[in-house]
Structure formats: C-alpha cells, structure tokens
Chain A
C-alpha cells in the first residue's frame, strides 16, 4: 500500500529565505507526482506536476524534483515571501486515471 510522507510537518522561516520541502513515497512505481498549495479554508491549487519520466519542473520561484528510484521529491521555494504561507501537499498517482494519494502536508509560515 502506497504511503506518502512529508517532512517537516511545519516550518517557520523569515522572509527572503530559500527553503526545501520534502516528500517521500514507499512504492516507486508511480505515474506522476503533484505538488499542491492549500490556503486555510480553501481548496487545493496545483503548483507543479512531474511525470514519472521527468526529473524536475519549474514555475517561477518554485522548483520540484523527482527521484523515482529512491521514492523522493522535493519542492524548492526561492526567496520566500509572506504570501507563500500555506500548507503544501504532495500527492502521487500510480497509473493514468487512478486517484491521487496524498501526504499530510507541510504547513509553512513566512514572517516579514
């Protein structure tokens, strides 16, 4: 059974700092991996999606990497801002058409 773990559970940093969020999964036979952002009381916003054949994806200040063989992904946030404060969720998909399996998330707080 696939399990997705995110470390740390919570993180507080001052504005401007670069940071890394970690995600690990137990079954490396995945189809793709997706990073989401969730603001309090809101739904999930997709940040980056990495197919199993890809090593990384970038969007603005965000960079997500995937090492499928070791069952790990990282989300790198450059020059953090208070607006980045949210919960970040990692999710994997085993096959096309199957549902996402989520980790519990990392709650990020960026202070000004």
Chain B
C-alpha cells in the first residue's frame, strides 16, 4: 500500500511569512496526526483528526497555526505568521481508527527553516 505522502519536503521562508504543508494519509485511515519535531527533540503532537473532526488540538498554537482536513482525507497545516522558533520538521501520520492496535504510519516530513 502507498505510504503517507507529504509535500513539500523542504521549505525556507522569512519570519512573518506564511507557509502551508500538505498531507495525504493512507487510504482508509480515519485518524490523522500532525507532529512538530524540533532538532534534537522527539515529535510533539500539534493536532489530531478523526475523519474531518478535531479530536485534540490542545498543543496547537492557535494564534498562528491552523489545520483542516476536508472530506476526511487530505489535510493542510498552515503557519501565519511564522516565527524563528517554528523551524522544525513537520510530520504527518495516520492510523486506521482511534482504537488502532497496530500503530501509526508516518510520512517523511516537511523540513521548515525560518530565517
């Protein structure tokens, strides 16, 4: 089966600019996650979707970050305006359902550099 697709792979922007990342999960996976991984750290959850509804966005900086999952398939994560501390790898993951036993599948990530 095809994996979790993410684009772009790399992005360099200036602070205060806006940026958007795209994720296409594995077909049939109802649950989708966006994680932020800062260099030298483990991934940290930003937002979790179940189909097109938000399950957990408690760690999403809502003043600058937004995410949507239209039609319960693809998802977009946006940052506006970006800050230097947003430099990180943004990972998308999907799983079959909330009660997933077999774990997640991660995409390759988008590496964001804010200068």
Contact residue among A4, A46, A96, A99 (Cβ-Cβ distance under 8 Å from B42): A4
How far apart sit A102 and B43, CA to CA, in the bound complex (Å)? 6
Given A43-B91, A97-B31, decide whether A102 and B108 contact each other with a Cβ distance below 8 A: no
Closest chain A residue, CB of each to CB of B99: A96
Closest chain B residue, CB of each to CB of A103: B42
Interface size on B, residues (CB 8 A): 30
Within 8 Å of chain A (Cβ to Cβ): is B27?
no
B45 touches A99 (CB 8 A): yes
Chain A residues within an 8 Å CB radius of B103: 32, 34, 46, 49
A89 touches B42 (CB 8 A): yes
Interface size on A, residues (CB 8 A): 24
Given A96-B98, A97-B98, A100-B104, decide whether A42 and B109 contact each other with a Cβ distance below 8 A: yes
Interface of A is mostly: strand
Contact residue among B6, B42, B48, B97 (Cβ-Cβ distance under 8 Å from A105): B42
A104 touches B56 (CB 8 A): no
Chain A residues within an 8 Å CB radius of B106: 36, 43-46
Chain B residues within an 8 Å CB radius of A32: 101, 103
Chain A residues within an 8 Å CB radius of B4: 43
How far apart sit A45 and B103, CA to CA, in the bound complex (Å)? 11
Q: Which residues of A does B touch, CB under 8 Å?
A: 4, 32, 34, 36, 41-46, 49, 51, 89, 91, 96-105
| 5 tightest A-B CB contacts, nearest first | A97-B98, A102-B42, A99-B45, A96-B99, A43-B106
